[in-house]
């Protein structure tokens, strides 16, 4: 059952979702999955064409090589990375990359001025206020789901208590919206902090593998066996640092972007609701049923 606030406006029912950001989550997940899957594939195809050059140049020396020696085999760089990481670290870094790309796509979709301050909503809201259609203006803002829409809905819902109370309500709503967005961005910072730690874990594990090979060998250990553990240590560190650098840079960009949009939303909300500043000492307009 609709509930009336102190303006007489009928608020949205508690069971009805007020936000419309679900499509951004699904779109970011789809785009993130495609990017995570496509980038390594394209890189592998590009590297696979350049890897076997050394073997092709030395084919004429095969007859002169001793029988006990084997010709060096070229290896695709992408496959070398996957082999060095192993199944565990490959899956972990793949999931982290998928999450990071999804969060970045979702951040770019949400932190847009057109998404946080829809021009059509602002125009329709002002039109309802000009026509003194308070109920329609309130419903339009509360059901819009945008940052500015939630702020305007909170402000017009408190106009009857005075302009000062309306401004405080708008600022509280803006703080809640900003906190919600910052909470989403914090996951990008979390990835930036975890990625190098996982890389460091891989470094330790790779060195342990190498020392285990040395300890288990009664003679001089084979260099190829030692190289397996060292490559694990170096590649995990490399991948962890790359992911962390990207995550930290994107997190800083999003934080600055959010601060700029917070100021823009505050200016627009004050400009739209400024028409009620002269009514602070007057009775609030009655709502239409």
pLDDT band at 247 (very low <50, low <70, confident <90, very high): very high
Q: Taking a C-beta distance cutoff of 8 angstroms, is the pair 20, 170 a contact? A: no
- pTM value? 0.70
Most confident of 60-74, 87-101, 162-176: 87-101
pLDDT band at 46 (very low <50, low <70, confident <90, very high): very low
Q: What is the pLDDT of residue 183?
A: 92
Name the region of 12 (left: φ>0; alpha: ψ -120 to 50; beta: rest). beta
CA dist 99 and 187 (Å) reads 9
Q: Which residue has the tokens 């060095």?
A: 84
CA distances from 250 to 3, 33, 236 (A): 42, 18, 21
pLDDT at position 270 over 80: yes
Q: Averaged over 60-73, what is the pLDDT?
A: 46
Coil, strand or helix: which one is 220? coil
Q: Where are the domains of the chain?
A: 85-278
């Amino acid at each position: 059952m609709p509930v009336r606030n102190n303006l007489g406006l009928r608020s949205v029912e508690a069971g009805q979702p007020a936000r419309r950001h679900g499509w951004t989550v699904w779109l970011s997940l789809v785009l993130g999955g495609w990017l995570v899957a496509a980038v390594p594939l394209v890189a592998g195809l590009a590297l696979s064409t350049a890897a076997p050059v050394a073997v092709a140049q030395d084919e004429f020396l095969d007859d002169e090589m001793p029988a006990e020696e084997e010709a060096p085999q070229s290896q695709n760089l992408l496959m070398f990375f996957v082999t060095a990481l192993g199944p565990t670290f490959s899956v972990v870094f793949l999931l982290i990359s998928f999450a990071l790309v999804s969060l970045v796509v979702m951040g770019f979709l949400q932190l847009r001025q057109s998404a946080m301050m829809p021009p059509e909503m602002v125009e329709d809201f002002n039109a309802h206020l000009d026509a003194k259609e308070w109920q329609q203006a309130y419903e339009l803002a509360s059901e819009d789901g945008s940052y500015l829409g939630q702020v305007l809905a909170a402000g017009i819902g408190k106009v009857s208590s005075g302009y000062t109370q309306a401004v405080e309500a708008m600022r509280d709503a803006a703080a809640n919206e900003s906190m919600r967005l910052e909470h989403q961005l914090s996951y990008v910072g979390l990835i930036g902090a975890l990625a190098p730690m996982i890389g460091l874990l891989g470094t330790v594990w790779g060195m342990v593998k190498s020392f285990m090979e040395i300890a288990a060998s009664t003679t001089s250990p084979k260099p190829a066996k030692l190289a397996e553990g060292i490559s694990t240590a170096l590649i995990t560190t490399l991948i962890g640092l790359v992911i962390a650098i990207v995550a930290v840079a994107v997190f800083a960009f999003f934080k600055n972007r959010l601060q700029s949009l917070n100021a823009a939303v505050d200016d627009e909300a004050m400009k739209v609701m400024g028409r009620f500043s002269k009514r602070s000492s007057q009775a609030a307009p009655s709502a239409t049923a």
